[in-house]
Structure 1
C-alpha cells in the first residue's frame, strides 16, 4: 500500500501516528492514576434528600397542643410553596416536627428559603414556643464516633466530651464535631411554695428579678484626649454561686433577702431520662464530620493522633477514650475487596484472551482495561464523583462489560493478521470492518445506562454515581478500541515470526488446540444449529420464547424471590426498643439490660461455632446502650436528631471488631440475637437490624382516616393480619396507649374570684414546668435557667391538687376549689400525613419464607381493597422499600421506553433498515434468562441491584448482535445467498461472540462467588452480568440468525405479494 493509497480518517491517522497515541495513552494513564488517588472516599455520597425539616420546640406542651397550635399552622402556611409534595408531621411532648418533601426537579435551595419565609410569617405561635428551626435534610453523616467512658460523675464526663469536641473541631478539614449521649446543661432555681407564700412572691416574679439582675450590656463610648473608651455594664451571672447572690427583695428594715436564702440553686442538667453507657460504664460520645473535599483516611489518622497524643495522656483515672465506628475502615475494606476481585477477574480475562488470540494482542486488549478505567477516573474527578458504595458498583459493572469492544476490534485485527495482512494494514482494515457496530454498540449501552440518571429524588442522586462511572468507562473504552488499540497492535510481530521460546511454543500448542476446538465447534454443532435456525426459524424462536417464559416463571412461582431492595449490611447491629409511653428511664434501662444480655449470648453462640483459636477474638465486642433517644429518632440517611428525649425508648448496639477476619457477618449476629432475645412482652415495638442502606422495612403502610377511632381499628386489623402471615415478624404501628394526663378545667366559681384561664394556666406552668428566666453560655451551648417548685413538691398528682393559686387581689385559694381535676389518656405522639392524622404499620420479613411484594399483595387483597370500596374516607399508601422501588421502577420504565426508541433510531440509520434494529432489540430479553437462572443457582433474590446488572447484560447482547448483523450484511453485499450469508456471518463472528461472553463471565465470576458481607450488594449485580451474558451468548448465536432469516423471508414474501398486485 503506497502513501497515496493509504486510507484516510481518524482510525487510519491514529493507527499510523505513534507519537499521538503514546501521548494520549500516557495522559490517560498518568492523569487517571493521579486523579484516582485524590478522589474523596466515603460510604454514602453527600446529597440532598429533597426534604425540608421544620422543628418547633414548645416546652411542656402535650402532643395534642403541639398538633393544634404548631403543626396545623405550619401545614396550612406552607401549602402554597411551589413544588411541594408530601408533608408528614409528628407532634410529641414539647416538640413539633414537619418534613416537607419536594417533587423531583425542584430547586431545593429556593424551596428552603420559601419555607423559611412562610414559617416566619406565622404570627400565632404560642409565646412559650421557641423559634422554628428550618433546614434542608441531606445524607451527611458523621464518619467517625468517639466514645468517652468511665465511672465518674456526669459533669466530668460531659466536660471531657466538650473538650474533645473543641479540640477535634480545630483540626483541619473537620467541618463539625458534636457531643452526644449527654443531657443539656440547666440551672434550676427551686423555691418551695411555703416560702413564696411567706414572702409574697411568685415564681414568675423571681424569674423577672433574676433576668434583670443578670445582664452584660454595652453602654456606648466616650471620647477622651487619648482616644475612644468603650462603656460596658457587667452583671451577667454564670454559675450557681452568682445566682445565689442575687437580691430578691429588701425588707422594710433594710435587710436584703438573697436568692440562696430562699431557694435551692442546682447547676446541673435538664430533667431527662437520656443516658448512655458503653461496655457497662457511663459514656458520652463525640461525632466527627468532615469537609466535602478531604479523604476519610487522612482525617481519621488526624483524629486518632489527637486522641493518642493530646487526650489520652491527660485522662483522669478510670476514664477511657476509644473509637466506636470509623467509616474509613469500611470504605477501605470494601475498596480492597473490589480491587482483589477486579485483579482476579482481570487475570482470568487475560488468560482467556491469550488462549484465543496472540499473547501480545491479548496483553494490549487487557491493557485497554487499565486505560479505560484511568480515563474514567479523570472524568470522575472532573464531575466531583467520589469513591463510594455506588461508584464502586459502577466500577464492578463496567469491569464486566468494558472489554467487549476491545475484544471485537482485537479479534477482527487478529483475523486480518491470519490472512497475511501486515501490521498497520491489518490494524486499519480490521478496525474499519467492525468500527460501525462497535460504535453503535457502545452508544446504545451508554443510552441504556443513561436511564439510571432519570431515577427521581434522593435515591436517584445517590445512585447517579453508577451510570456516570459506567458511561465514563464505556466512552474511554470506545476511544481506546477504535483509536489507540489499532496502533498498539500494528507493532506486533507478524504471525509466525516471534522469537523461538519453549514456553511460547508450549503456549502456542495450547492455542492451536483451542483454535481447533473453536473451528470444530463452528463447523459442527454451530453449523447444524444455524442450519436449523435458517430452515426452521420459528422453531428456534418458539424455543427461545419458551425458555424466556420458563425463566419468568421462576419469579412468578417464587423460586427466585423478587425483593425491592436487598439491604446493605454495616459493621454495627442495632436493637431499637420502644416501651409504652410514659415508662420511666429506669424501667426502660432494665429491659435494655436484658436485650444486651441476649446479644452477649448471641456472640457466644457465634463464637462457639468457629474455630477455638478465633473464638476469643470474636468475643472482642463493644456494646453501646442509649436510653431516652434511640437511633430511629435520627433521620435514616443522616438527618439530625429530633430535640426530644423520651424515657420509654432505647437502643442497644453491638459491634464485633474485624468481622471479616473471622468470616462473620453482621447479619449473623442479627439473626442469632433475634433468636436469643425472643419476645419482649413489655415492648410495643422491638426491631433488630444491621443495615446501613436499604434498611427501611420491606412492609410499610401509611394509613389515614379522619376518624381517629376508626383509624386505630384499621391499624389494629392490619397488624393482626400481618402477625398471622408466615415469615413476617417485628410487626408494629406507631400508635401507642399514650400516657396519663391530668386535666385541669376552671369551675364557674373561679369567675367571682377574677381568676382567668391565662392567669391560672401560667401559674401552674410556672410551678410545675418552670419559668425560663434566661440562658447563660456553656461552651458552644447555652444553659437555660428555670425557676420552679422543688422536685419533691411536683412529683405526684396530689401536689397538683394541693397547689395554692395566687389570686389577682393577693389572696390564695387551693387549686381543687376553683378547678375540676380529671385523669385521662393522651397519645404520646400524633402522626399526620398531608394534613390528616395517619398511622404507619411496618414489618420485616424472613427472606426464606416471604417477600415484601407477596405480603403487600395479600394485605391489599384482604384489607385495603375492600376498605376502599366501602369507606371513601379511607386512604393508604406504600412506604419504605416498596415506595422507593415503585418510584424507581416507574421512572426506569418511562426512560427505558424512550431509550429503546433512541436505540432503534440510531441502529436504523446505521443499517439503513427498519427491521434489523428490531432483530437486535429482540435479543435483549435473552439476557433475562441467564440472569434468573444464575439467581436460582446461587439462591439469590432478584432486587434493584440485579436490575442494574441486567442493564449491563443488555449492552453485551446488543454488542454481539450488532457485530453479527453487520457481518451478515457484509457477506450479503458481497453477493452471497441470504441464507449462506447468515450462516457464514454467524460462524465468522463465533469466536468474537464466545470470547466476549467468556471474558465478561470470568471478569465478574470472582465477585459473584464472593462470600464476604462487604460484597453482599455486589453479588446480585455480578450474577446478573455473568450468568446473563453466558446464557445469552448461546441463544444469540441461534436466535439472531433465526430473526435475520425471518426478516429475509418476510421481505421476499412482501415482494412477491406486491409484485403480484402490480401485475
Structure 2
C-alpha cells in the first residue's frame, strides 16, 4: 500500500492542463529499510530494516549449472520450426563472439552444446560419399566399355540429373539436408542406368556393323520402351514414400522428391542426349585395349555359358516355383529374426547421464550427488581420454522448479577423428563406473533420435478409470521389466512418494480467535513461498520485492509451529500451532492425462544389444498377460513413431507393389507379363534381409525405405528381359527361343546397371564418421538386394516367362488384328 504509482486525475487552469501522478515512494533497497511498520509505546518507530534483512540480489538459488566443474550460467537457444538449424547456429556463434568483446576481464562466453556440429560433420561426410560414389560408378562403366569416350556418355548424366534434383527441391521449398543428400548418393547408381541401357544397345548394333548414326536411332528406338518402363516403375515406387504420415513421413518426403525428379530426368537424358553423344563418340570396328579385350572375352564366354544354362533350366519350371516358395518362406523367417527399431543409433558426439533421487529430495542433496557423478566422469576427460566436456545441471529439466530430485549431465566427446571409440562404447564404460557410486541412481544413454523426441526411447502409456488402478497396473509392468535385461532404469511419471505437509485448520478455534483461513494461508505463503508484494524501478529495470523467512527458519516441518498470525478482532498475534495440525503424507508429484484419459507413462532406456522393436513386442505380450481387457494402451515419443512408421512402411510397400503392377500392366497391355516381372521382388527382399542379418544391422526406417526402393530396382532387370523377348516374339520367334535370346543379349546391360547401382551404394557402407549408421543400413539393403535379385532373376524371369507366356498372344497380335480388321472393313459415312 505504501509503494504505488498511479494516475491521480488532472488539473485544469484557464491556460494550462496538468496530469497528476503519484510516484513510487521506494526506489532502492535503502528506502525499503526505512519503511515504517509500527510505533512502539515509547514512541520508537519500528522500521522494516529493524526486523528484516533487506538486500538486492538474485532470487533464492534453485538451479545448478556447471561445465567441467566450473560454475556457469546456461542460455538455451531453440530455433523455430521453419528456421534452418545451421543458420541459427552460425548466427548464435557470431552473436556470442560479439558479446564476448563487451564482457569484463575474466568472464567468457562459449558454446557448451551445439547439435549442428553433428549435422555439419554428417553433411561434409555425405558430400565426400557423393564424390566417391560418382567416381566408382564411372570406373565401373569404363571397365565394361573400355574407352573413356564411351564412359563419358553416361557420366554426363550424373551432373545433369543432380542439378535437376536441386531444382525440384527448390521448387517444393525443401532444403539441402542429410536426407536429401542421401537421396543424391542413391541417385548416383540409378540415373546412369538408362544411359547405360541405351549406350550398350547402340554399341552392340555398332559392333554388328551399323553406322553410329543409324545405330543411335535404331538402338534408342529398340530400348525406348524399356527405358520408359523402368523409369515409370522407379518413380511410381518413390511416390508412396512421399505420402508417409507422421514426423518420419515429412522427413522422407524430401528424399522421395529428390529421387523421383533425378530418375525422371535420367530417362529424358538417356533418350535424347545419350543417342546424340553416341552418334558422335561411338566408333565402328574400334580396336579394343588390352583391358577391354580381356573383359569382353570374359563377358562373351559368360554370355555363351549363360545362354546354354538358361536353355537347360527352362525344362524344369517347377524347380523355380520351389525356389520362389522357399524365398518367400525364408524372407518370412528372417523378418522374425532380424531385430527392428525406429532408426539406428548414431554416434552424435554426445551422450547424457540422468541422475534421480527420491521424490522430495532437496536442492542441496541433489547438488551433492551431482558432484559425485562429476568426479566419476572427470576420469574420462583428458588428452588421452575420449571426453572433452561435462555439463551438469539441477533440476534435470530446463525451467522446472518441481524436480529438484533430478539432475542431468550432458557429456561431449572429442571430435570423431580424435578418438578411437564411439558413443555407444563410451556409454557402456561410463555406465559401469556410475554403478559404483553409492546412493546414486545414475543412468547413461545416448540421445538424439530421428524425430527429436523427448524422453527415453521406450515409452508406453497406460490409460484407465482412476489412478489407483493405473498404479497397480504400473507396478505389474515395472516388476516384469526389472526382470528383463533389455530395460535399464524403468520408471513412471506417477510416483506416490513426493512428501507433502497437509495443514488442517481448526475452523472453530480460528473463528473464536478472530483468525480467518485467508490470513493463515497468506502468512504461510509469505513466510514459506516467497510472495511477491510489490516492485521498484532502478535504471529503467523493474525488480520484484519478495518476502520470505530466512532459510534456517523454514528448513523443517517443525518450523511452521514458530509462525504467528494476527487476530482480526483483537489485533494480537496468535501462534499458528494453536490453530492447525500438521500431517506429513506422500502424494504423487503430478497427475497426467493422455488423449483426455487418466494416464501413467512408463519409460525406460534400452541396454546395448536390445532394440526398440524387441522391447515393444515383449511389452505387448506382457500387457495381454497382466492387464485387464479394458486397459487402454498407447505410446509416446520414439515408441509412438516406431509403431506408426511400421504400419506406414508396410502400407507403402504394398502400395508400391500395386502401383508398379498397374503401371507395368498398362505399359505391357497384359496382366501376365507384369506378374513375371514382379516375381523378382521377393528375391530382392530375401537378399536385403540376408544382408541385414549378416552385417548385424536392424530393420529400421532407413532399411525399410531401401526395401521399398528394391521393388523398382528388382523389376528393372525383368523389364529388360521381358520387353526384348516380346519384341522377338513379334518378329516371329517362338516363346522358348525368344526368352533365351533376350536373356542372353540383355545379360551385359543387366550386369552393367546392377554393378553400377551396387558401386554407387558401396561408399554408403564403407564410409565411417558421423551419420554413418543410417547410411550404412540403406547401403546394405541396396547392395545385397540388388545383387541377390540380379543373380536369381536371370534364371527365374526366363523360367516363368516360358511357363506363362504361351498362354498369352504375341504383344503385337492385337495391333495386327486391328490393322487387318481395318483393311477388311469398308468405310462408312463417306469419309475417312
Please tell me whether the aligned partners of residues 567 and 693 of structure 1 are also in contact (alpha carbons under 8 angstroms).
no
Per-residue deviation, 1:661: 3.8
| 1:192-250: CA deviation from partner (whole Å, max 9, x where unpaired) | xxxxxxxxxxxxxxxx434x2xx37597899999x999876653866534544556578
Per-residue deviation, 1:1022: 0.8
CA gap of 1:779–1:292, structure 2 versus 1, over 3 A, is: farther
Please tell me whether the aligned partners of residues 449 and 638 of structure 2 are also in contact (alpha carbons under 8 angstroms).
no
Please tell me whether the aligned partners of residues 428 and 486 of structure 1 are also in contact (alpha carbons under 8 angstroms).
yes
Query: Equivalent residues in 2 for 1:359-758 (5 A)?
Result: 359-496=148-285, 508-524=289-305, 526-556=306-336, 558=337, 560-602=338-380, 616=383, 618=385, 621-628=388-395, 630=396, 633=397, 641-644=398-401, 646-678=403-435, 682-683=439-440, 686-693=443-450, 697-747=456-506, 748-758=508-518
Per-residue deviation, 1:867: 3.7
SS of 1:660's equivalent in the other structure is: helix
Instruction: Report which stretch shifted further, 244-253 or 531-540.
Output: 244-253
CA gap of 1:718–1:768, structure 2 versus 1, over 3 A, is: same
2:736 to 979, 992, 1011: 979
Counterparts of 1:454 and 1:859, CA distance in 2: 30
Whichever structure has more strand as a proportion of its residues is 1
Per-residue deviation, 1:272: 4.1
Per-residue deviation, 1:275: 1.1
Q: Counterpart of 2:818?
A: none
Please tell me whether the aligned partners of residues 387 and 411 of structure 2 are also in contact (alpha carbons under 8 angstroms).
no
1:773 to 2:520 alignment: no
Counterparts of 2:541 and 2:764, CA distance in 1: 49
Per-residue deviation, 1:777: 7.4
SS of 2:459's equivalent in the other structure is: strand
TM-score norm. by structure 1 comes to 0.70
Q: Counterpart of 2:110?
A: 322
| 1:1014-1041: CA deviation from partner (whole Å, max 9, x where unpaired) | 3111110111111111111011111111
| 1:885-905: CA deviation from partner (whole Å, max 9, x where unpaired) | 221222233344444333322
Counterparts of 2:329 and 2:350, CA distance in 1: 42
Q: Counterpart of 1:1010?
A: 767
Please tell me whether the aligned partners of residues 245 and 258 of structure 1 are also in contact (alpha carbons under 8 angstroms).
yes
1:832 to 572, 588, 593: 593
1:813 to 2:574 alignment: yes
1:916 to 2:673 alignment: yes
Counterparts of 1:296 and 1:834, CA distance in 2: 31
CA gap of 1:431–1:209, structure 2 versus 1, over 3 A, is: farther
Per-residue deviation, 1:579: 1.0
Counterparts of 2:157 and 2:540, CA distance in 1: 54
Please tell me whether the aligned partners of residues 523 and 565 of structure 2 are also in contact (alpha carbons under 8 angstroms).
yes
Instruction: Report which stretch shifted further, 362-371 or 462-471.
Output: 462-471
CA gap of 1:907–1:744, structure 2 versus 1, over 3 A, is: same
Unpaired runs of 5+ residues, structure 2, are: 810-832
Please tell me whether the aligned partners of residues 649 and 704 of structure 2 are also in contact (alpha carbons under 8 angstroms).
no
| 1:981-1008: CA deviation from partner (whole Å, max 9, x where unpaired) | 1111111111111111111111111221
| 1:240-270: CA deviation from partner (whole Å, max 9, x where unpaired) | 3454455657899999765444432232223
Query: Equivalent residues in 2 for 1:124-203 (5 A)?
Result: none
CA gap of 1:783–1:864, structure 2 versus 1, over 3 A, is: farther
CA gap of 1:814–1:732, structure 2 versus 1, over 3 A, is: same
Counterparts of 2:222 and 2:232, CA distance in 1: 17
| 1:763-802: CA deviation from partner (whole Å, max 9, x where unpaired) | 3223321432245679999753323334333332222123
Instruction: Report which stretch shifted further, 671-680 or 990-999.
Output: 671-680
Please tell me whether the aligned partners of residues 704 and 837 of structure 1 are also in contact (alpha carbons under 8 angstroms).
yes
Q: Counterpart of 1:209?
A: 2
Query: Equivalent residues in 2 for 1:263-302 (5 A)?
Result: 263-288=52-77
| 1:421-440: CA deviation from partner (whole Å, max 9, x where unpaired) | 33333333222222222223
Per-residue deviation, 1:742: 1.4
CA gap of 1:865–1:295, structure 2 versus 1, over 3 A, is: closer
CA gap of 1:253–1:412, structure 2 versus 1, over 3 A, is: farther
Counterparts of 1:770 and 1:735, CA distance in 2: 27
Counterparts of 1:642 and 1:536, CA distance in 2: 72
Per-residue deviation, 1:411: 1.9
Please tell me whether the aligned partners of residues 133 and 185 of structure 2 are also in contact (alpha carbons under 8 angstroms).
no
Please tell me whether the aligned partners of residues 212 and 284 of structure 2 are also in contact (alpha carbons under 8 angstroms).
no
Per-residue deviation, 1:464: 2.3
Counterparts of 2:511 and 2:420, CA distance in 1: 75
CA gap of 1:409–1:680, structure 2 versus 1, over 3 A, is: farther
Please tell me whether the aligned partners of residues 207 and 285 of structure 2 are also in contact (alpha carbons under 8 angstroms).
no
1:349 to 2:137 alignment: yes
Please tell me whether the aligned partners of residues 618 and 656 of structure 1 are also in contact (alpha carbons under 8 angstroms).
no
Per-residue deviation, 1:978: 0.4
SS of 2:681's equivalent in the other structure is: coil
Q: Counterpart of 1:142?
A: none
| 1:854-880: CA deviation from partner (whole Å, max 9, x where unpaired) | 33333333x311344xx3543322444
Counterparts of 1:229 and 1:531, CA distance in 2: 110
Please tell me whether the aligned partners of residues 401 and 955 of structure 1 are also in contact (alpha carbons under 8 angstroms).
no
Per-residue deviation, 1:371: 1.1
Unpaired runs of 5+ residues, structure 1, are: 1-207, 498-504, 605-615, 634-640, 1053-1063
Q: Counterpart of 2:827?
A: none
Please tell me whether the aligned partners of residues 602 and 669 of structure 1 are also in contact (alpha carbons under 8 angstroms).
no
Counterparts of 2:273 and 2:7, CA distance in 1: 74
Q: Counterpart of 1:170?
A: none
CA gap of 1:827–1:916, structure 2 versus 1, over 3 A, is: same
Counterparts of 1:236 and 1:947, CA distance in 2: 71
TM-score norm. by structure 2 comes to 0.88
Q: Counterpart of 1:120?
A: none
Please tell me whether the aligned partners of residues 247 and 641 of structure 2 are also in contact (alpha carbons under 8 angstroms).
no
Please tell me whether the aligned partners of residues 222 and 231 of structure 1 are also in contact (alpha carbons under 8 angstroms).
no
Per-residue deviation, 1:366: 1.7
| 1:83-130: CA deviation from partner (whole Å, max 9, x where unpaired) | xxxxxxxxxxxxxxxxxxxxxxxxxxxxxxxxxxxxxxxxxxxxxxxx
SS of 1:324's equivalent in the other structure is: coil
Per-residue deviation, 1:813: 2.4
CA RMSD across the alignment: 3.3
Instruction: Report which stretch shifted further, 365-374 or 765-774.
Output: 765-774
